[in-house]
Amino acid sequence: MPLPLHRQSPPQWDDSLFETVVAAAINGVLAVNEHGLVSVFNAACETMFQYRREEVLGHGIAMLLASPYREEYEERLRRYQQTGVAEGAGKGRELVARRNDGTTFPIFLSIGEGMHDGRRTFVVVIQDLTDLQLERAMHAEQRAFLAAIVDSSNDAIISKTLDGKITTWNRAAEELFGYSAEEIIGTPVTRLFPEDRLHEEAQILDRIRAGHALEHYETVRIKKDGTLVDVSVTVSPVRDVKGNVIGASKTVRDITEKKLAEARLQTLSAELSHVARLSEMGQVSAAIAHELNQPLTAVLNYTNVAKRLIASTDAAAKAKSYEAVSKAGDQALRAGQIIRRLRDFVEKRESTRTLEDINAVTEDALALGLIGTPTADIKVITAFAPDLDPLLIDKVQIQQVLVNLLRNAAEAMAESERHELTVTTAAVNGTGILVSVADTGCGVSDDLAERLFRPFVTTKTGGMGIGLAISRSIIESHGGRLTMVPNQGGGTVFQFILPVAQRLVD
C-alpha cells in the first residue's frame, strides 16, 4: 500500500525558545531541514563528533553516521522526499555514529518533527552511549564471571522463586542430585525433599521472605535415583534493585563423608573410653575383689547362723533365723549392686543417651570411684540439689568422668593432712547443671594447669595421662565444658556443666 503524501501539519516551535533550548542542551542536538541538510548543530554535538559547526551546517546528516546506518539513512531520506512521510519520527533507537577522525561510537538517536523558522524541521537528539556500553560490557563480563564461578563450584548452587520453583541449577547440582537443568528448572524444589522433610520448605521460605538467611543447616535430601544424601544447606534471600526479596539462593554441600568421619571418630572415641574404663578397673581389681568379698562373707556367715537357728527347737531362735536370712539377703543385694555397677561400667556398647537424674548417676559413681583408693579415711561430703531437671546423657560415660575425677582427687589427698572430698550438684540459670568434685589435696601448679587436659600429661607414676583428656572430650560431646579451678580451702575443684534435656532438644 503506498504511503500517504499528505500529513497533518507538525507543531510550530517558538523560534527563540528553540534556539535557547538547543544551545543549553547537555546532549547533542541538531536540526535537519526537509531536504536532509543540517541547519542547527549545538556545542554538545561539536564535542561529540569533533566537527566545528561550520563544517556540518548545510551538509547531510549521513556524514555523522557509520556504515551501514549511513546507507540506511540515505534510503529513508529518498523515501521521505517521495512520500512526505518521515520514518522513525517520534521514535528512538541505538546505532553507531562516526567522528571527524573516523572513529565510531554508539549513540541513542531520537527524532522529533515540527515547524521552525516557518519550515518543516526535524530535531535529532543524540546521546553518547560509550559509557553505558562500557558499563553494560562490564556487567556482562561480571555476570559471565559469576556464572563461571557458579558453574565450576564444587557445591550445588540453586536459586528459586518465593513459591519454591527452581530457576537456576549448576553443574554440581546435576552431579549431586542426578537431574539435568532441563529436567529440574521450573519444578518445585520439594522434589529434592524426602517425605518426612517436606515441612522444612515452608519454614525456609518464611525465613527468606522475612529477609533472613539460613546458614549451614544439616538435613537430608533425595537424589533422582531415590537414594538419600546428607547435606549442609545455606539459603540466602535474593533482592531486586529496590531491596525487595524476590527469591532465594541456595548452596547445598554433600556432607556424607563428613558424617561417616564423625561416625568413625565417635566409634574410636567410644573404643578409647572403653579401654580407659577397663584400665581404671584393672588397676583396682584387688580392691574390687575385696569389696565383693565383704558382702559375700557376710552372706555366708548369716546363712550359717540361720541354719543353726532353724535346727533349734527354741521358738525365739526361729524368729532370729528369719532376721539372719533377711540380713544375708541384704548383703547379697549389696554384692549384686557392686557387680551391676562394674558390669555396666566396663561393658563395651554403643553410646546411648537417655534421660537421667544426675544425682543418681553421681551416687553410683561414688560407689565405684572410691573402691581401692590409697586414702582410706576420706570424708565424703555430698550436697545434691533437689528437683534438678533431667539430663540427656550417656550415663556410663558421665560416670566414667566422675570416677576419673574422684580417683584423681583421692590420690591427690594421699599425702595431705585433710582428707575431705566434696561432691555437689546445682542448677545453673535454668539451662544447665553444675557438677563439682573438690579435694583438699596438694593442688596443681600453674605450669601443669595449662597442660592438664592434654593427652599423655600426668603426674602419676606409670599413668597414661589420657583420663582427663577423655573426660573433657566426653563432656564436650554432651555440649558441656570441663574445667579446673583452685579450691579456696586448699586443693583443687574439677567441675563441669551439662545442658538440661530441654535445651539440647531445642
What is the assigned CATH class of domain 15-130?
A: alpha beta
Rg (CA), the chain: 45
**pLDDT of res. 5:** 35
Task: Write out the H or E segment, with its range, that includes residue 302.
Answer: helix 285-311
**pLDDT of res. 54:** 92
d(CA 403, CA 227): 44
Q: Where in the chain is the domain with CATH 3.30.565.10?
A: 354-506
**pLDDT of res. 120:** 76
Instruction: Return the CATH number of the domain spanning residue range 258-350.
Output: 1.10.287
Buried b (16+ CB within 10 A) or exposed e, 328-367: beebbebbeebeebbeebeeeeeeebeebebbebbebbbb
Rounded to 5 degrees, what are φ and ψ at 319?
A: -65, -40
User: What residues in the chain have per-residue pLDDT under 50?
Assistant: 1-8, 17, 456, 461-464, 503-506
What does the pLDDT look like over 227-250, one tens digit per residue?
999 999 888 888 887 888 888 888
Q: 366 and 380 in contact (C-beta within 8 Å)? A: yes
Task: Write out the H or E segment, with its range, that includes residue 450.
Answer: helix 446-451
d(CA 2, CA 395): 97
d(CA 223, CA 193): 9
Per DSSP, 68 falls in state T
Q: 83 and 5 in contact (C-beta within 8 Å)? A: yes
CA of residue 217 relative to chain centroid, distance = 5
- In whole angstroms, how far apart are CA 478 and each of 232, 398, 424? 22, 9, 19
d(CA 87, CA 77): 9
Rounded to 5 degrees, what are φ and ψ at 59?
A: -105, 165
Right CATH for 354-506 from 3.30.360.10, 3.40.190.10, 3.30.565.10, 3.40.630.10: 3.30.565.10
Cell reading at 334: 549389696
**pLDDT of res. 504:** 40
Find the angle CA(285)-CA(289)-CA(291) to the nearest 5 degrees. Answer: 110
Q: Is 16 left (phi over 0), alpha (psi -120 to 50) or beta?
A: alpha
DSSP reduced 3-state for 466: coil
Rounded to 5 degrees, what are φ and ψ at 267?
A: -65, -45
Does the predicted TM-score (pTM) go above 0.85?
A: no
Q: What topology is assigned to 153-254 in CATH?
A: Beta-Lactamase (3.30.450)
Q: Where in the chain is the domain with CATH 1.10.287?
A: 258-350
Q: Where in the chain is the domain with CATH 3.30.450.20?
A: 15-130, 153-254
d(CA 398, CA 344): 12
Amino acid at 158: I
d(CA 459, CA 262): 32
d(CA 173, CA 24): 57
